[in-house]
Amino acid sequence: MKKSNLLLLLGILFLIVSCSNSTLLNTLEDVKNIEMWAPDELKVFEFEVDDTIPKFNFGVNIHHDLTHETPVAPMVLSVLAPSGKRIDYDLTLALLDSSKMRLGDSGSDFFELSYMVVEKFRFSEIGIHEVELVPAQNCVGIRRIGVWIKKAELKK
């Protein structure tokens, strides 16, 4: 009886600990040149993976301003594992709609966007990983850029 109670308690504790932290990374950084984010400005975000079982969704956070007429922001998001394995995703994220209205929530002099770009990604290695984000061309009006990684929701 005591052994089964101990196993039950350990199982509940495991579920609480493994389900409690759903955000692996959530960051936003200023770009160096306030007028544009250029291809020579690679953004690198480090984080630690300690479990290869859960699946994660990746997203990009963008703050863009009123100074541009650029409809999209083409960029490459790369995931680098501790072993050096690299996975690249080519992204084209909309900044303006078809009528040239800015997309996103307006904070003041900029608009905030958050895009999910990779769904249900499973890390194959434990350790320090990196996400790299670089524009494929000059992105005028991008003020801040970042990445978020959150545990994918389990379907009920």
CATH number of 22-151: 2.60.120
84-117: per-residue pLDDT in tens? Answer: 999 999 999 988 888 888 888 886 778 889 999 9
Q: What is the predicted pLDDT for the residue at 110?
A: 80
pTM of the predicted structure, to 2 decimals: 0.80
Greatest mean pLDDT among 32-46, 58-72, 79-93, 141-155:
79-93
Amino acid at 91: L
Measured CA to CA, the distance from residue 25 to residue 122 in angstroms comes to: 15
1-52: per-residue pLDDT in tens? Answer: 565 555 444 455 444 444 456 989 999 999 998 778 999 999 999 999 999 9
Query: Residues 19-46, buried b or exposed e (16+ Cβ, 10 A)?
Result: eeeeebbebeeebeeeebbbeebebebe
Q: Where are the domains of the chain?
A: 22-151
Tell me the H-state helices in 99-140. none
